[in-house]
Amino acid sequence: MKSSGKKGQVTVIANLKGGSGKSTVTFNLGLWLQMKGQPVVAYDLDPQCTLGDVAEVRREEGYAPPLVVYQDTDRLKDLLRMHPGQVLVDVGAANMVAMKEAIVNADRILIPVPPSQPDVWATQRFIGIVNEAVEKHNGKKGTEPELFAFVNRADTHRAIRESDETEEVLAQLKGIKLIPYRLCQRTIYRRSLSEGLGIFELSRRSKAVEEFSLFAEFLFPDIKIRTKLNS
Question: Residue 41 pairs with which residues in a beta bridge?
Answer: 87
Site map 85..124 versus ligand ATP, x via CB under 6 A? -------x--------------------------------
Which of the listed partners (ligand ATP, Mg ion, none) does 193 bind, with a CB threshold of 5 to 8 Å by partner kind? ligand ATP
Position 229: which residue type?
A: L
Would you say 19 and 114 are in contact if contact means Cβ atoms under 8 Å apart?
yes
Tell whether residue 183 is a contact of ligand ATP (CB under 6 A): yes
Choices 28-36, 80-88, 156-164, 189-197; region in contact with ligand ATP by CB under 6 A: 189-197
Tell whether residue 203 is a contact of ligand ATP (CB under 6 A): no
Which C-beta is closer to ligand ATP: that of 7 or that of 190? 190
Grouping H, G, I as helix, E, B as strand and the rest as coil, residue 70 is strand
Among 4, 9, 11, 23, contact with ligand ATP (rule: CB under 6 A) = 23
Least Å distance between CB 23 and ligand ATP? 3
Q: Where are the alpha helices (DSSP H) in 9-161?
A: 22-35, 50-61, 76-81, 96-104, 117-138
Kindly list the residues in this chain that would bind ligand ATP in the complex (CB under 6 A): 18-24, 46, 48, 50, 92, 152-153, 183, 185-186, 189-190, 193
